């Protein structure tokens, strides 16, 4: 067991805010922007990513709208925004090697950075800390989501 | 990759192949889901042999990757979850002895000439 809580081997970071249904996380940055990515559960469900294509810088996204399209050999779908805002940065590493999301879903594999437009209200609708672990445990167990497998070099 | 903004564009996918050619069943649905993920309006029209993959009990028997738990049924369900609309040609169904009771959930039956309107309304049509 590592330094972070795990549910069926799926790592969760206590200081992030989660949209459990859409499998996304939000980190509130010091400069007022937020960073968004896919959770360890999401990367495990998708399998090794072949492509991850974010929307462009400048795109204004309402909560729930896609920030990116990701595809693996067995699945393709949107990364839905957990909060509303304008995309101010996209992760350039995704175009080089989308598996960075599988290898480092919470750090190097971030998807976009947003300037949020309604952060306080929307953050309150996400879960964080132990509440996030409990919410994810409930989902993982009720849907019998398979245990997370991590590629070599995985970092939480 | 095109710089054209895909959001809101309409894609029509025409699927003429079914369970007798299983290797032709996954990709059209995958492309449909990719388009839906990019916020396009996507409709898959099943006609000719494409009809038979929509019969109850048929899709789960198609499994292209023996190491995966994904079947054609999984692909169809994922497409519906992604808001891809599935439509089947009424006349094709009749030709192959299928009734609405044979169809899986989530598929709407339309008359054959609906394809004309659908094609005219679509921004792009993909044929399989």
* Contact criterion met (CB < 8 Å) for A69 and B33: no
Is there a contact between A61 and A81 (Cβ–Cβ < 8 Å)? Answer: yes
Partners of A38 on chain B (C-beta within 8 Å) are: none
**Residue-level pLDDT at B69:** 87
Q: Does B64 touch chain A (CB under 8 A)?
A: no
Whether the per-residue pLDDT at A135 is higher than 80: the answer is yes
Of the pLDDT bands very low, low, confident and very high (cuts 50, 70, 90), residue B68 is confident
Q: Does B127 touch chain A (CB under 8 A)?
A: no
Position A51 in a domain:
yes
Position A152 in a domain:
no
* Contact criterion met (CB < 8 Å) for B34 and A71: yes
What span, in angstroms and rounded, lies between the C-alpha atoms of A38 and B50? 35
What span, in angstroms and rounded, lies between the C-alpha atoms of B44 and B12? 6
Written as six digits, the tokens of A75 are 């699945």
**Residue-level pLDDT at A3:** 87
Instruction: Look at A56 and B69; give whichever has higher pLDDT.
Output: A56
**Residue-level pLDDT at A103:** 97
* Contact criterion met (CB < 8 Å) for A69 and B1: no
* Contact criterion met (CB < 8 Å) for B37 and A78: yes
pLDDT tens for B2-48 read 666 789 999 999 999 999 999 999 999 999 999 999 999 999 999 99
The CATH superfamily of B10-127 is DsrEFH-like (3.40.1260.10)
Looking at the structure of chain A, the number of domains it has is 1
Q: For the domain that residue A109 is a member of, what is the CATH number?
A: 2.40.50.100
**Counting Cβ atoms within 10 Å, is residue A94 exposed (0-12), middle (13-18) or buried (19+)?**
buried
Whether the per-residue pLDDT at A123 is higher than 60: the answer is yes
- Which domain range does residue A101 map to? 6-142
**ipTM above threshold 0.90:** no
Whether the per-residue pLDDT at B1 is higher than 60: the answer is no
**Counting Cβ atoms within 10 Å, is residue A73 exposed (0-12), middle (13-18) or buried (19+)?**
middle
Position A155 in a domain:
no
* Contact criterion met (CB < 8 Å) for A78 and B33: no
Output the CA–CA distances (angstroms, integers) from residue B8 to A27, B36, B59, B89, in the order listed: 30, 10, 30, 25
Of the pLDDT bands very low, low, confident and very high (cuts 50, 70, 90), residue B85 is very high
**How is chain B split into domains, by residue range?**
10-127
Best A54, A56, A74, A146 residue to mutate vs chain B (most B CBs within 10 Å): A74
Of the pLDDT bands very low, low, confident and very high (cuts 50, 70, 90), residue A119 is very high
Of the pLDDT bands very low, low, confident and very high (cuts 50, 70, 90), residue B93 is very high
Q: Does B65 touch chain A (CB under 8 A)?
A: yes
Is there a contact between A106 and A25 (Cβ–Cβ < 8 Å)? Answer: yes
Other CB atoms within 10 Å distance of the CB of residue A78 = 21
Whether the per-residue pLDDT at B99 is higher than 80: the answer is yes
């Amino acid at each position: 067991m590592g330094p972070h809580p795990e549910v069926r081997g799926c790592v969760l970071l206590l200081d992030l805010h989660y949209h459990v249904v859409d499998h996304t996380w939000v980190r509130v940055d010091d400069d007022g922007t937020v960073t968004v990515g896919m959770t360890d559960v999401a990367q495990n469900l998708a399998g090794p990513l072949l492509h991850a294509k974010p929307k462009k810088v400048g795109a204004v996204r309402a909560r729930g709208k896609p920030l990116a399209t990701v595809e693996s050999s067995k699945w393709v779908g949107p990364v839905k925004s957990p909060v509303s805002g304008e995309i101010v940065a996209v992760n350039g590493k995704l175009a080089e090697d989308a598996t960075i999301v599988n290898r480092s879903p919470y750090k190097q594999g971030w998807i976009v950075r947003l300037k949020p437009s309604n952060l306080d209200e929307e953050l309150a609708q996400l879960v964080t800390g132990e509440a996030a672990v409990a919410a994810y445990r409930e989902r993982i167990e009720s849907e019998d989501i398979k245990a997370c497998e991590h590629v070599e070099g995985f970092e939480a | 990759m095109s710089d054209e903004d895909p959001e809101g564009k309409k894609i029509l996918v025409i699927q003429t192949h079914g369970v007798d050619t299983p290797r032709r069943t996954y990709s059209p649905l995958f492309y449909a889901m990719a388009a839906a993920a990019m916020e396009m309006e996507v409709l898959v029209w099943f006609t000719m042999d494409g009809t038979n993959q929509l019969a109850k009990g048929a899709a789960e028997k198609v499994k292209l990757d023996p190491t995966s738990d994904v079947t054609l049924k999984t692909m169809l369900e994922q497409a519906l979850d992604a808001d891809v609309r599935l439509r089947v040609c009424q006349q094709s169904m009749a030709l192959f002895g299928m009734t609405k009771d044979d169809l899986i959930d989530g598929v709407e039956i339309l008359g054959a000439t609906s394809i004309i309107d659908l094609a005219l309304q679509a921004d792009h049509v993909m044929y399989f």
